[in-house]
Structure 1
């Protein structure tokens, strides 16, 4: 006779056991600091969010579905739907998060880089010798451009125990490359297993111990674990042509864990979303610098023209409904997960569900973001003047000319500069101040390019040098050292 408990959507737990014990789990208000007045959502918005979850659970035919919304770094809403009336899971019930695990592995690798223990241009062999993928660089592994195979040799690693692959050599064929390194994007699960092994080799600790000590504990993510902890959901496959379910095995994938092993909750992933967005209350610097987080969120190899999907360093980038979303999806047998952030709207959303496959559920997290962003658009930060304006920098502001093309230089807070083209489609570039008195481009055509002020012997400014481009105060200013010189007749009718 079948055990009735095995048919529940929460692994081997009776319905009365589904609510998290308040003696060991934090109340919802402590998931993130309480919502600010601006982050709190209107009742109509909350109802629309719950309706989207309800539609997702019903049409996606999943035993349960949990969602959370983060706005301005604060938990603004959580909700759930379940096939068990009156026993929907809350934000503290664990689900398997699949490839969202890769975002954690990427952060560990980037911490090593920021500490100077490795460079992203280093070949893997330099730090983890003896693998068949040693010629790939760490950056290529992070961005799935190493050309490695998408999966391990059989049997299917997601449904079989890690004991079947006890050595790194078991994760790849003798010739694991499907494409030339750096040639194209090709998603690779074994590639992220290698990154986890890299962390272990450099830190001399199991990768999850490193994750717990360096990331999870500082961020207060106490319910993100390598193996499931009660209360947690059980994973199920739903028959494609009938409303019946089949339990999926909850395997420990061993060395493949960095690619998709982790278990977490909507509450913990709300914290993670705030961290990845750079809006963690109290700052993110204790785990990763703001600059490195921004590096993760940029396309590793910028796609050409209009694009719908790209990949950064451990993060997916997608365009949906005119909105740029950054985050990651996840799937393992029995589970689907989504974590997405809209930087422009300052809104993030998390969804967790315990079903193997459902195209209907793929976009629920993005839809939660859209509901909040469209019904309650974020308020722009109030304009405030800054008080540390350097008179010499103020004198640099205003119109400049690259040849005959007019541009405008603006001074921003923290000695940052903004350069905007005038008289046509605006192209704006930002420049970061450097200790030596120069600036470095942060985006667009001038990303990484130096900007410096060129002065005469008496200290007066002759021109700006932008990656060898000369910007002068008037079009082709003869006093501005224009390359190639200026016709001595000057401007005339022809």
Structure 2
């Protein structure tokens, strides 16, 4: 008997239900809904609630707080990909007069712009956005807390500026642009700036008594790009699949990999080790597993979107209480349960349809000094350079069409790999960002900087 690959085993489903039931009960949450994504689609939905007859489902809206920032980052990357801006551009070039214009677009995306974490009083999450009608009201008289570009400092006003940037370059309100360019193409019809029935109400649970207090649900106004959205587990499951696979109508897989790449490590000892920030996405380590996504909170709600791209498993957790449940921890556990119980089945190996003879000439063993490396050509046309010992620098390289290659990751990201040929056309060595790789350790006759002792290898007399 076999189980279709897009279905979870009964034991896995029970383990998922048990995890959210424990979280809802121990966290004393009015309700908790969750979803798991695998293979580009939701394969499990679960819900627990304390209100009889009102069980939420995958179409029930919850407020998602700062997960909104990931949507805003997608809009900014779209502007970049269209050539309307460069991530290295200072904000002042496109949105002048903010008193924060020295920060680059990348700084704002990665929270390295030096801006304050919050807007000036009153507490923006619990007061109407009408109190902050202008960007100057969001930034205050002293918008900077740190030198620009020097350190990671999470900033809600920074994403307000990115939303204003989108509005300036698109000539339309942020939410209208988001709906037209992201929500509608991805069929996220239950994601919106204002709550749409059916939706959960936000609650505060008394820390010392089993009683509730309703929380306000303010329109954040200018701060909307930092945390306004409402969504569902169904919509966020589709969004999680997009963040892994890409959709050429919205954003390419390459640009999404860029978003998932660490751009701002945290400042120690301010935060727990194993956390970093990309371009609109948080990165966390859970054991050996890299988790990418975003958390969110506003009065009455906490939320998380968690992606383990290597395992092809994502999780969404939405809760309607101000505190008590850690959706990040629950999301990480949901991913772990599925990934460990039902590990990803790899695609069958398939040979390349054709091979470039010049690339084939390069494969095999190379030495950087005395360190051995293997160069392998994949069916995708990329070459990978890996240390034979298992320890050391490694990278994949894409062909440039002229016999040279460019590194894609790690230490060699962006660095040129150039086969240097002799007069007869044979390969003398590989030049990797000025490092010389030869077929034998310090190969005699190869062009090695500093030369090779003519007496060759020898023992000690």
TM-score range, shorter chain: over 0.9
State which of 421, 428, 431 in structure 2 corresponds to 1:465.
Answer: 431
Following superposition, the deviation at residue 479 of structure 1 comes to 2.7
2:194 corresponds to 1:227: yes
2:263 corresponds to 1:300: yes
Q: Distance in 1 between matches of 2:47 and 2:135?
A: 39
2:84 corresponds to 1:117: yes
Following superposition, the deviation at residue 435 of structure 1 comes to 3.1
Structure 1 pair 336/44, CA: closer, same or farther in 2 (3 Å)? same
2:21 corresponds to 1:58: no
Alignment of 1:289-368 (within 5 A): 289-301=252-264, 307-368=273-334
2:99 corresponds to 1:136: no
Alignment of 1:399-478 (within 5 A): 399-423=365-389, 425=391, 427-478=393-444
Following superposition, the deviation at residue 400 of structure 1 comes to 1.3
Over residues 62-107 of structure 1, what are the superposed CA-to-partner deviations in whole Å (9 max), with x where a residue is unaligned? 1111100001212110011111224310100111100000000001
Q: Distance in 1 between matches of 2:113 and 2:37?
A: 34
TM-score under structure 1 normalisation? 0.89
Residue aligning to 2:93: 126
Structure 1 pair 302/417, CA: closer, same or farther in 2 (3 Å)? farther
State which of 430, 455, 459 in structure 2 corresponds to 1:489.
Answer: 455
Q: Distance in 2 between matches of 1:361 and 1:326?
A: 14
Asked if structure 2 preserves the Cα contact closer than 8 Å seen for 1:60 and 1:361, the reply is no
State which of 159, 163, 166 in structure 2 corresponds to 1:199.
Answer: 166
Over residues 297-349 of structure 1, what are the superposed CA-to-partner deviations in whole Å (9 max), with x where a residue is unaligned? 11103579994111000000111233211000000011111100112211000
Alignment of 1:20-99 (within 5 A): 37-99=4-66
Asked if structure 1 preserves the Cα contact closer than 8 Å seen for 2:39 and 2:312, the reply is yes
TM-score under structure 2 normalisation? 0.95
Asked if structure 1 preserves the Cα contact closer than 8 Å seen for 2:291 and 2:306, the reply is yes
Q: Distance in 1 between matches of 2:267 and 2:100?
A: 28
State which of 236, 249, 256 in structure 2 corresponds to 1:286.
Answer: 249
Q: Distance in 1 between matches of 2:185 and 2:76?
A: 17
Q: Distance in 1 between matches of 2:252 and 2:326?
A: 36
Residue aligning to 2:153: 186
Following superposition, the deviation at residue 391 of structure 1 comes to 2.2
Structure 1 pair 390/304, CA: closer, same or farther in 2 (3 Å)? farther
| 3-state secondary structure, aligned to 1:363 | helix
Q: Distance in 1 between matches of 2:310 and 2:59?
A: 28
Q: How many residues align structurally?
A: 455
Structure 1 pair 342/362, CA: closer, same or farther in 2 (3 Å)? closer
Residue aligning to 2:341: 375
Over residues 14-60 of structure 1, what are the superposed CA-to-partner deviations in whole Å (9 max), with x where a residue is unaligned? xxxxxxxxxxxxxxxxxxxxxx9213101111111112111111111
Asked if structure 2 preserves the Cα contact closer than 8 Å seen for 1:78 and 1:91, the reply is yes
Q: Distance in 1 between matches of 2:180 and 2:287?
A: 38
Structure 1 pair 311/458, CA: closer, same or farther in 2 (3 Å)? same
Residue aligning to 1:268: 235
Q: Distance in 2 between matches of 1:177 and 1:57?
A: 39
Structure 1 pair 138/360, CA: closer, same or farther in 2 (3 Å)? closer
| 3-state secondary structure, aligned to 1:474 | coil
Q: Distance in 1 between matches of 2:216 and 2:407?
A: 50
Following superposition, the deviation at residue 362 of structure 1 comes to 4.3
Q: Distance in 2 between matches of 1:259 and 1:429?
A: 35
| 3-state secondary structure, aligned to 2:192 | coil
| 3-state secondary structure, aligned to 2:102 | coil
Over residues 183-218 of structure 1, what are the superposed CA-to-partner deviations in whole Å (9 max), with x where a residue is unaligned? 111110000000000000011111111111111111
Structure 1 pair 182/294, CA: closer, same or farther in 2 (3 Å)? same
Asked if structure 2 preserves the Cα contact closer than 8 Å seen for 1:65 and 1:354, the reply is yes
Over residues 470-490 of structure 1, what are the superposed CA-to-partner deviations in whole Å (9 max), with x where a residue is unaligned? 112222223321112222222
| 3-state secondary structure, aligned to 2:88 | coil
Q: Distance in 2 between matches of 1:251 and 1:203?
A: 26
2:171 corresponds to 1:208: no
Asked if structure 2 preserves the Cα contact closer than 8 Å seen for 1:59 and 1:360, the reply is no
2:206 corresponds to 1:243: no
